[in-house]
Amino acid sequence: MKHEIRYGKADVKVYRTYAEPLTGITPIPESPFNGRDNTLVAAAIEVIVRGTVFLDAYTRGDNRLVVATDTMKNFIHAVSLKARARTLEEWLLEVGTAFLDTYPHMERLTMLGRDLPFPAAVVPSADGDGFEPSDRLFSRDRCDHGSARLDLERDPDGSVVITDHESGRRELQLIKVTGSAFADFARDEHTTLPERPDRPLYIWCDIGWRYADASDAVLAHPARYVAAEQVADLAVAVFHEFVSLSIQHLVNEIGLRMLDRWPQLAEVSFDTQNRLWDVAAESTDDPRLKSYADPRPPYGHIGLVLRREA
């Protein structure tokens, strides 16, 4: 019998103060983002341990090699205290490398992370002239967030290498009230949806990307790092200006812009839902005036992966 083993600790929430600032990011026209001071960084981190060395724990109840998942939680916090943590990907690499260095019988790891954004609160400026971001007060943002995955293992020489990776911006929710269409689609006896030459469009969207060189994901060269904030801003800019004929049309345009803007990316991917509201009431005098209700399920689900040709 063959076994595939994995175990670990999920949803370890870490709130770290005064991490190392993120600098050296290459700016893009679609985004004002150029770095972070990282006074407060926070993430939900998961470690997944893989390998056959733990088989006896499953088949014989022999736990002598098992690192308790509670120990893993404490270990993540201990390493996070010392980590540079300029980005989520670098943070995961530091924690994962420490796991493999400390526990040599762990063969392979998957490190997963999800940003818990705490942007600076806007407060009256110290000189009394306008407003400015606080240097000590932060507000929990529960909208879209960065994500990352690193698969790590040891080389024959003992060094830790990245065998696979993905960065992401998750749970974008964007509504455009005009400048989108869906028409000229296939029709048959089952079709009831009317054509809409101009419609509001409300999407939920996850965007992922991979680098041609995984070291770019972990700040080997900060100028080649793609920040999740920049990706979100680019998606917003394209959605704002592009007259799309479908959600498929829209995500393809965002993907093409990403690959054009960042030549270091090898792949971009999209997982998108159509969450367009249902019209509940509308004005007879002005067609722009409408009241909407949440849509009834099910929802349209659209996926796309764009990869550069080798």
Q: How far apart are the C-alpha atoms of 73 and 93, rounded to whole Å?
A: 16
Strand pairing report for 108-115 and 40-50: antiparallel
Which residue in the list 9, 110, 176, 272 is annotated as catalytic?
Answer: 9
Q: What is the DSSP letter of 222?
A: G
The identity of residue 77, as a single letter, is: H
Give the whole-angstrom CA distance, residue 217 versus residue 228: 11
The residue to which tokens 């700040």 are assigned: 219
- What torsion, rounded to 10 degrees, do the Cα atoms 57, 60, 63, 68 define? 40
Counting other chains too, the contacts that 191-199 makes at CB distance below 8 Å and 24 or more residues apart are 199/276
Write out the two tokens for 242: 């592009």
Residue 69 catalytic? Answer: yes
Among 76, 70, 71, which residue's Cα sits nearest to residue 43? Answer: 76
> What are the tokens at 285?
């005098």
Task: Verify whether residue 9 is a known catalytic residue.
Answer: yes
Catalytic residue, chosen from 26, 39, 69, 290, is: 69
Which two structure tokens, joined as six digits, stand for 189? 């006896």
Query: What whole-number distance in Å separates Cα of residue 20 and Cα of residue 97?
Result: 18
Q: Which residues are catalytic?
A: 9, 69
